Amino acid sequence: MASSLTKDSASPAAEKTFFGHPRGLATLFMTEMWERFSYYGMRALLVYYLVSGGADAATGSQGGGLAMTAATTTAIYSVYVSMVYLMAMPGGWFGDRVWGARKTVAIAGFVIMAGHLSLAIPGQAMFFVGLVLVAAGSGLLKANISTMVGHLYDGPDDPRRDGGFTLFYVGINLGAFVAPFIVGTVGKEHNWHLGFALAALGMGLGLTQFLLGTKNLSPKSSEVPNPLSPEERKAVLTKVVLVVLAIAVFYGAVVALGAYTLNWALVPLTLAGLLIPIAVLTRIKRDKDLSGAEQSKMTAYIWFFIAAAVFWMIYDQGGSTLSLFADDKTADTVFGLGFSATWYQSLNPLFVMALAPVFAWLWLWLSRKNQEPNTIVKFSMGLVLVGASFFVFIVPMGMATGDTKVSPMWLVSIYMIQTIGELCLSPVGLSVTTKMAPQKYASQMMGVWFLAVTAGDCTTSLLSIGGVDLNGTWVIGFQAAAAVLAGFAVYTYRKKVQGLMGDVH
């Protein structure tokens, strides 16, 4: 990407730019690209490593995983993804009040790399240490690197700002697209821990790029916008120490009594992932400092939040339920050429890069004709589409009986439908979150939006822990119906929700 830096003759100093944007965007683009490479590469391996047992002499599969059941695997995967998004809120807090965005991202890079290196060490204990580190580091980085992109521009009215975020979004999807081909193939088909080590290498490259390019970033990125006072710092530290000690004592007692099982960790995390979003929304909704108009908007926002949680509950099973089906019940050859099941994880970023410009053009074209669907209708479309993808999923599930394996095109179709749904719901959700945020919580509401992902994934985890077979046809059908009905419910009550939204359209 360095070759894309060109001279901008229109600027007074004719300084180097990145496709006409501030040079610091190249630094953040490459950092995020490699971070996503590491994250999605490891994620492509996660469920397969968890379910893999001994090596299969007949197929030549490597084995050597943790030999867990599909239900436990889905629960762990869902909790892990939910924690990544849950950690975005404290990640933003660290950037705003403790380290500043630049230092927080640098520390996050080291934490993520340490997590992947932990995964590269065989053994269940190091595996879970690695998951915790990657989740914590990803939350720290996710919440701050987008803020740093915004710092590169002269406020919200800078005409280059939207284009800069679009380029940054390309970096995210480019890393996510490439990772399953490299990390996924090496890890699943050859050596799990070498695959995890490649993910660590990817994060190391991103961190190196970031540290070398910090001179091109805005000075604002080093500032702490609202630093903790000495008294606040002491109070926070005291609370953290007390909570850590309480957790250590509790789990120490459970282990000492010989009662510890994996559910002692999964159930509390799952419940926290469901209760924290409820608590956060309740606290904001009950805040007496909010005006009547802000209260009304928050009531409307809760509709969007619940709808988004339903969407992500299904969508994120692309890395668990669909992945397990891809490995067990889907043919692994096309035109006589074999491929790894991890490659399916490249479909979503590929479709995003291909279809996002199409949708951007489509909404603009419809807007000119005064026919663009409003936010509520787009949300409804997203829910109906993600539900439809699982209705489609029922068909190959019924075909894949015994040793019969279905065509890969079934999964390609399902991932494409889900991506179209994502493009209807996700960008609109980000936009409506910023528009409907109460002034008092303007900087926190993006973290609240991420909590919808946490709530959706924790619902999936809770179902798995409760013994529900998410790979069963009736469960897939139930989830599909729930999403479609939610979409129709949002559409049916669109006028009521629009009335609550006030001046937001």
For the stretch 76-85, pLDDT in tens is: 999 999 999 9
Q: Which residues contact 199 (CB under 8 A, 6 or more apart)?
A: 37, 38, 39, 41, 42, 116, 119, 179, 183
**Least confident residue range of 10-24, 317-331, 461-475:** 10-24
Amino acid in position 148: M
Statement: residue 7 has pLDDT above 80: no
Q: What is the pTM of this model?
A: 0.90
Of 459 and 438, more confident: 459
pLDDT tens figures, 105-131: 999 999 999 999 999 999 999 999 999
> b/e map of 110-143 (b: 16 or more CB within 10 Å)?
ebbbbbbbbbbeeeeebbbbbbbbbbbbbbbbbb
What is the pairing mode between strands 333-334 and 337-338?
A: antiparallel
Statement: residue 394 has pLDDT above 90: yes
* Calpha distance 383→371 (Å, rounded): 20
The mean of the pLDDT values for the chain is: 90
pLDDT tens figures, 180-237: 999 999 999 999 999 999 999 999 999 999 999 999 999 999 999 889 999 999 999 9
Statement: residue 19 has pLDDT above 80: no
Q: What is the band of 244 on the pLDDT scale with cuts at 50, 70, 90?
A: very high
Question: What share of the chain has pLDDT > 70, as a percent?
Answer: 94
Q: Which strands sit side by side in the sheet containing 16-18, from one edge to the other?
A: 5-7, 16-18, 21-22
Q: What is the band of 57 on the pLDDT scale with cuts at 50, 70, 90?
A: very low
pLDDT value of residue 336 = 82
Statement: residue 3 has pLDDT above 90: no
Of 464 and 502, more confident: 464
Statement: residue 20 has pLDDT above 60: yes
* Calpha distance 475→390 (Å, rounded): 10
Statement: residue 8 has pLDDT above 80: no
Locate 500 and state its tokens.
Answer: 């609550």
* Calpha distance 249→243 (Å, rounded): 10
* Calpha distance 95→143 (Å, rounded): 8
Degrees (nearest 5) of the Cα angle 124, 127, 130? 155
Statement: residue 14 has pLDDT above 60: no
In this prediction, residues 89-93 reach a mean pLDDT of 89
Statement: residue 289 has pLDDT above 70: yes
Question: What share of the chain has pLDDT > 90, as a percent?
Answer: 69
What is the DSSP code string of 293-358? HHHHHHHHHHHHHHHHHHHHHHHGGGGTHHHHHHHHHB--EETTEE--GGGGGGHHHHHHHHHHHH
Q: What is the band of 13 on the pLDDT scale with cuts at 50, 70, 90?
A: very low
In this prediction, residues 242-262 reach a mean pLDDT of 94
pLDDT tens figures, 464-477: 999 998 888 999 99
* Calpha distance 117→197 (Å, rounded): 6
What is the pairing mode between strands 5-7 and 16-18?
A: antiparallel
Statement: residue 505 has pLDDT above 70: no
Statement: residue 10 has pLDDT above 90: no
**What's the full length of the chain, in residues?**
505
Q: What is the band of 435 on the pLDDT scale with cuts at 50, 70, 90?
A: confident
Q: What is the band of 137 on the pLDDT scale with cuts at 50, 70, 90?
A: very high
pLDDT tens figures, 331-368: 998 888 899 999 999 999 999 999 988 988 998 899 89
Locate 223 and state its tokens.
Answer: 């500032």
In this prediction, residues 467-489 reach a mean pLDDT of 93
pLDDT value of residue 61 = 52
Q: Which residues contact 147 (CB under 8 A, 6 or more apart)?
A: 92, 95, 101, 221
Q: What is the band of 497 on the pLDDT scale with cuts at 50, 70, 90?
A: confident
| DSSP classification of residue 405 | -
pLDDT value of residue 4 = 42
Q: What residues are paired with 334 via a beta bridge?
A: 337
Q: Which residues contact 77 (CB under 8 A, 6 or more apart)?
A: 46, 47, 50, 319, 320
pLDDT value of residue 365 = 93
Statement: residue 54 has pLDDT above 80: no
* Calpha distance 412→479 (Å, rounded): 20
pLDDT value of residue 126 = 96
Q: Which residues contact 419 (CB under 8 A, 6 or more apart)?
A: 347, 348, 351, 352, 355
Statement: residue 32 has pLDDT above 60: yes
CA 418 from centroid of its chain's CA atoms: 15
